[in-house]
Chains A and B, each alone.
Chain A
Amino acid sequence: MEILYSVYEVLWFVFIVIAGIALIEGYFYYHFQFYDRRWFFPAALLGFPLAGAAGCFAMGLVTEPVRIFLWLLGSEGLIAPFFRHIVKGRSKLAYLLLAPAFIGLALLLVYPFVFEVYLSFSDLKLTTIMQWKNTGYLPFVGLRQYIDVFTTSPLSEVTFWALLGRTLWWTFINVFFHVAGGFTLALLLNNHIRFKGFYRTLLVIPWAMPQVVAVLAMRGEFHAQYGFINIMLGKLAAAYPFLAGLGLGPVQWLSNYPLTTCTLINIWLGIPFMMVVILGGLQSISSSYYDAADIDGASYLQKLRFITIPLIRPVMMPAVTLGTVWTFNNINVIYLVTGQSGGTERADILVSALYKAAFTYNRYSYSAAFAIVIFAILFFVSVFYLKSFDAAKEER
């Protein structure tokens, strides 16, 4: 019987979504279709706020229907003239088709973002959250949270600036090795070799696997006693004593080198994506360029430098931008590798510190400000990349 209940719940949810879309569409249809009727204003100003307030009240969403009615009346008083005098029913179908997606985006992106900005200017934390719940009131603190982001530690000891530096370094190292490794593998795969499809499949596996599974599997391999990495290091040191003399040997990866471990795992995870993108780029280069370069007398490295690299730049730039953003924002690897083992802070980057600040230290407003700062940094990085990408495209 439980399964029937689940089906019922799913169907109920679908019904709610469809009903919501139908309501929204009907609402807009009215404004698009009847904007020039004489009864447009009275019907809109009376009907929609009344229906909205009554609906909300009936569903138990609000306790004061009059207040909601006045709110809705006010907003309808702005929306109705807008449709009558500015939209005038133009492009009706296009907007009706766009409306569900637009509203979905507004609910999922715009509302949380606006709320986050609101939070970042108030003071919501473990000690004020009950007050907020009971009174609905949050003290406005201006830019204090932003100042705190730059002056206090989001965690117990690491400062924001140390985290930022660590994040930039982490991003650079990761993206560098993603590109270098992906490029090398793509060059190898672009040759005429046997079992190419097989190699390609093998190499894509880390990327195709769910990240949680891949990271946890690799984390096991970095185990001090049972992971293959330490076992191999131990065997190597035993077989070649001079290597042991150089200091090679098993290492307490997770407790002594958490950031290195995370980096190694993330490099392993990120190479396949770059490889696939670069391989696609390589295969789109016409072989006649290489023929021409052969006749012109270019060596392998010269062909790489003068033909291959300039010609895959257009596919590289978006991939590198994406890779940078993903790596910068990569909480999965850090959290999964270090978050469980007593929570070292030595591997934390900005986003993982943000997560801890919000959900371990419960400083919600502070984390909101922190998140907006991170967003700003990423935004500028992306704009810079995309600008240079456009410039590269102009060149061709």
Chain B
Amino acid sequence: MADVKFSKVTKKFNENLILNGVDAEIRDHEFVVIVGPSGCGKTTLLRMLAGLEEITDGEIHIDNVLVNNMHPSKRQIAMVFQDYALYPHMTVEENMSFALRLRKAPKAEIKERVTEAANILQLTTLLKRMPKQLSGGQRQRVAIGRAIVRKPKVFLFDEPLSNLDAKLREEMRVEIAKLYQRLNATIIYVTHDQVEAMTLAGRIMVMNHGIIQQVGTPIEVYRKPVNLFVAGFIGSPTMNFIRGKLKVEGDKLYLKNDDISLYIPSFLLSKTAEHDGREVVVGVRPDDVLVGGAAREKCSEKLDGMLEVSELLGHRENLYIKVGDTRVLATVEAFFNQSPGSKVAVCFNYENMHVFDKATTQRING
């Protein structure tokens, strides 16, 4: 097993800048999920690590060895592709042993390793099948098996679950988590699905526009997003954003816009006077929006809203509330006993509120 280091990695397709100086270190035995919207460069970064894309500038080290010009097969990595890339004319067994056969490994060893991987992934009964005779989940497992057989230093997963349906995706997510516990390998996993990122990762690397926005444990990224992008990308449903200007009235700080006048407590933003007149965006997760009775009990400062739509999810309920022209989403325990069109009181859980500078989009509260 090994660590991976990206230093100022840049990628250009002609004049298009895809990756703009990525610096990151992935430690031994770590499960890192690279997450970001499509086109953010995450797959390109992974393919560069695998050696399938040229590196325009910068350096990539695997296990302290510079791999920039090393052939993919020499980098001791294994990759699981989004479309699995199982060779359609080979059986499961042949697919899994292909790399070893190319390397002319002894037959006994090949058999042993394939059997071992098949056992781990419950593929033993499928070894003689062709890929087209397998279901999506089974193909996915074969693709992972093909990676395991090679005993690589680093496993690369390129959106491995995005071709599966929702239920299977959940199952495979758990499988991959179990596999990680068992193999204890270095895994770099690319996805655009923040749920996969949150549930699987030891550390999350959030990317956008070819730049790493934030690296941290899932809980860090969730609790303390460093900028507006991360705040909006991580978490489901998406965080509410309220735009406005900070104003000092008396010695208290308020967020003001056309509809809302929201008190900002000093534990959120100290040095009240400094912030006077600053354009900011305040972020609140739907879970931290208190509505109705809860708002009346827990908050002193409330906003008046009007319930637009409520969506029942079962144990929770999504409430879309209009406060002036701003729409706020609140997720509350089912059942919320008010019908659309009625007036509701809204307030926010200040402890979990995020304040971002509108111009720089960076987080400004602690």
- Hey, which bits of chain A sit against chain B, CB under 8 A? 286, 288-289, 291-298, 302, 306-307, 310-311, 313, 395-396
Contacts and interface: CB of A to CB of B under 8 A. Distances in A.
Top 10 closest A-B pairs, CB basis? A297-B73, A296-B99, A288-B85, A292-B85, A310-B89, A294-B72, A295-B72, A288-B81, A291-B52, A297-B102
Contact of A306 (B47, B98, B130, B132): B98
Contact of A295 (B79, B82, B83): B79
A289 B84 CA distance: 9
A297 B83 contact: no
A87 to B, nearest CB: 41
A292 B90 CA distance: 14
B103 interface: yes
Contacts of B132: 396
Contact of A296 (B73, B83, B88, B130): B73
Given A288-B83, A311-B89, A396-B132, A298 B102 contact: yes
Given A297-B73, A302-B102, A396-B132, A291 B88 contact: no
A344 B4 CA distance: 74
B151 to A, nearest CB: 13
Contact of A307 (B83, B87, B146): B87
Contacts of B51: 294-295
B77 interface: yes
Which size bracket describes the interface of B in this complex? 20 to 34
A297 B99 contact: yes
B72 A396 contact: no
Contacts of A296: 73, 98-99, 102, 150
B85 to A, nearest CB: 4
Interface string B59-85: 000000000000111100111011101
5 contacts: A288-B85, A291-B50, A296-B73, A297-B72, A313-B89
B89 A295 contact: no
Contacts of B103: 297
B79 A291 contact: yes
Contact of A286 (B77, B79, B85): B85
B153 to A, nearest CB: 13
A284 B102 CA distance: 24
Interface in B244-261: none
B293 to A, nearest CB: 54
Nearest to A307: B87
A292 B102 contact: no
Given A291-B81, A294-B51, A296-B102, 14 more contacts: A291-B50, A291-B79, A292-B79, A292-B87, A294-B52, A295-B51, A295-B72, A295-B73, A296-B98, A297-B73, A298-B102, A310-B87, A313-B89, A396-B88
B72 A286 contact: no
Contacts of B146: 292
B87 A291 contact: no
Contact of B85 (A291, A297, A302): A291
A257 to B, nearest CB: 42
Contacts of B47: 291
B302 to A, nearest CB: 55
Contacts of B52: 291, 294-295
Contacts of B87: 289, 292, 306-307, 310
A396 B99 contact: no
A395 B87 CA distance: 12
Nearest to A313: B89
A287 to B, nearest CB: 9
A395 B131 CA distance: 10
B17 to A, nearest CB: 21
Contacts of B71: 294, 297
A191 to B, nearest CB: 16
Interface string B95-111: 00011001100000000
B81 A292 contact: yes
A313 B87 CA distance: 14
Max chain A C-beta neighbours (<10 A), residue from B51, B81, B85? B85
